[in-house]
Amino acid sequence: MLAKKTSKNQITLPKAIVSHFPDIEYFDVREEGGQIILLPVRLSRADAVRTKLAEVGISEKDVEEAVKWARRK
């Protein structure tokens, strides 16, 4: 199957291919030996939480400090 790259570096995946991955929104993209490899990724809820924390500027250190504060007696 043929896919064309647009001027914005976008490629539309053929329907015949994506139909094999109906619940997949994300693909890991890498280059191996001159080939582009797409691997389906199922994000967990934890990934969604990490993404949201990053969006609002909360770091791993902030979370660690909040947990310590919550656990103190």
Rounded Cα distance between 14 and 9, Å, is 16
Q: How many domains, in total, are found in the chain? A: 2
Contact 27, 38 (CB under 8 A): yes
Q: Are residue 29 and residue 61 in the same domain, yes or no?
A: no
Q: Are residues 37 and 48 in the same domain?
A: no
Q: Note the pLDDT of residue 46.
A: 84
Please check whether residues 26 and 37 belong to one and the same domain: yes
11 and 38 share one domain:
yes
pLDDT of residue 71: 94
- Tens-of-pLDDT digits for all 73 residues of the chain? 899 999 999 999 999 999 999 989 899 999 999 999 999 988 778 878 888 899 999 998 999 999 999 999 7
Q: How many beta carbons lie within 10 A of that of residue 13, not counting itself?
A: 13
Q: Which domain holds residue 15?
A: 1-42
Q: For residue 52, what pLDDT is reported? A: 87
